[in-house]
């Protein structure tokens, strides 16, 4: 019995030694823990670096794309869009003036202008489509008014026919005006100089809250054969703006367009003929033997004397213009009132 117990004791002692052999020493356990932590740290660092590299790549691609778009050459497309707008404005302006001269009723003129704009839009679309461009022109609305003309069946007329006195009012209660042109037969003008032109034939613009502005029109005493226009504000010495050699031919003074024309010659007056404010009335002053014509388009509400022929007119038209290519998208609303100052 004692022998058996000794054997059991030896077996238990062997098991304990085996357990001790299987269990690693404390320094080995500590080393294993350190390796695990370092491995986790390396994994986290690698993931962080991967995220950073991906982010940098995305930012770099975005920067390259942005620079490519920003430096893309759209100069040609932009020029063509501006050119299209200019062509449309000029064409519709000519359409409005042509229809106004027909002497039709207001509704007929408005319908003709709208139809003409729509037809122009169709032609513009087809023409630009050939070059791979989408261009549209759409009619929005029109503002109506009156076309006023003073002449003798289209020919020059004495301004004194309209007034027995020295002054004749062409328009009063004026709202807006455009395309104001006065034709003058220069051989009937008085000779003068800018300094002494206060008593010669002229056009006066009046406003109750502003000083009157007068355009003095005369044959230049110092430069014979030159029609001259000088401008004066109340209390100021007249200032010569422009002159044109006429050779005896009639001269058109485009007051809202600031230029003189005769026999194909053109002289710019550089935006000095129309006053700096909106006038309430337009008058002819110092009327003597001067002869000529007058034409102006006004909005509704203005008043004029019986000597003036008036017909319905379109004062302005508003359209939408768009222009699209692969590199440019352009759209604008244009109000077209030809000859508006």
**pLDDT at res. 74:** 43
Element (H, E) at 60: helix 26-70
Is the pLDDT confidence value at 142 over 90?
Answer: yes
- Across residues 232-256, what is the average pLDDT? 93
Instruction: Give 190-206 pLDDT, tens digit per residue.
Output: 999 888 888 899 999 99
Cα torsion 240, 242, 247, 249 to 10°: value is: -110
Instruction: Decide if pLDDT at 77 tops 60.
Output: yes
Report the run of H or E that residue 81 belongs to, with start and end: helix 75-100
**Where are the domains positioned within the chain?**
2-54
> Lowest mean pLDDT: which of 156-165, 200-209, 246-255, 256-265?
156-165
pLDDT > 80? residue 293:
yes
Strands 329-336 and 309-324, bridge-based pairing: antiparallel
Q: Look at 73-82, 113-122, 175-184 and tell me which has the smallest mean pLDDT.
A: 73-82
State pLDDT tens for residues 149-179. Answer: 999 999 999 999 998 789 999 999 999 999 9
Minimal CA–CA distance to 159: which of 283, 46, 259?
283
Residue 56 is predicted with a pLDDT of 73
The DSSP code for 59 is H
Percent share of the chain, pLDDT over 90: 55
- Tell me what percent of the residues of the chain surpass a pLDDT of 70: 82
pLDDT in tens, 2-55: 545 555 555 555 555 545 555 555 555 555 566 676 777 777 887 777 778 777
Task: Compute the distance between CA of residue 301 and CA of residue 303 in angstroms, rounded to an integer.
Answer: 7
């Amino acid at each position: 019995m004692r022998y058996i117990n000794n054997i059991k004791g030896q077996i238990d002692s062997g098991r304990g030694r085996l357990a001790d052999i299987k269990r690693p020493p404390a320094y080995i356990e500590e080393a294993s823990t350190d390796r695990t932590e370092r491995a986790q740290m390396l994994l986290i660092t690698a993931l962080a670096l991967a995220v950073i590299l991906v982010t940098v790549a995305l930012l770099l691609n975005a920067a390259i794309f942005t620079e490519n778009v920003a430096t893309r050459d759209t100069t040609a497309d932009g020029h063509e869009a501006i050119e299209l707008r200019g062509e449309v404005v000029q064409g519709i302006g000519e359409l409005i003036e042509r229809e106004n001269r027909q002497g039709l009723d207001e509704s007929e003129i408005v319908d003709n202008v709208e139809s003409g704009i729509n037809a122009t839009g169709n032609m513009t679309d087809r023409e630009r489509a050939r070059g791979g461009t989408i261009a549209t022109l759409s009619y929005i609305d029109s503002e109506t008014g009156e076309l006023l003309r003073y002449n003798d069946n289209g020919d020059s007329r004495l301004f004194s026919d309209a007034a027995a006195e020295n002054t004749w009012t062409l328009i009063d209660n004026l709202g807006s005006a455009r395309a104001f042109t006065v034709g003058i037969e220069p051989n009937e003008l008085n000779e003068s100089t800018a300094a002494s032109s206060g008593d010669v034939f002229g056009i006066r613009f009046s406003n109750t809250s502003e000083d009157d502005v007068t355009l003095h029109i005369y044959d230049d005493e110092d430069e014979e054969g030159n029609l001259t226009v000088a401008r004066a504000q109340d209390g100021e010495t007249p200032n010569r703006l422009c002159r044109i050699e006429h050779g005896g031919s009639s001269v058109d003074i485009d007051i809202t367009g600031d230029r003189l024309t005769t026999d194909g010659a053109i002289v710019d007056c550089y935006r000095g003929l129309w006053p700096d404010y909106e006038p309430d009335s337009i008058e002819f002053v110092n009327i003597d033997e001067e002869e000529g014509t007058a034409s102006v388009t006004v909005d509704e509400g203005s008043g004029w004397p019986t000597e003036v022929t008036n017909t319905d007119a379109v004062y302005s038209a508003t359209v939408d213009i768009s222009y699209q290519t692969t590199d440019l998208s352009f759209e604008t609303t244009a109000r077209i009132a030809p000859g508006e100052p």
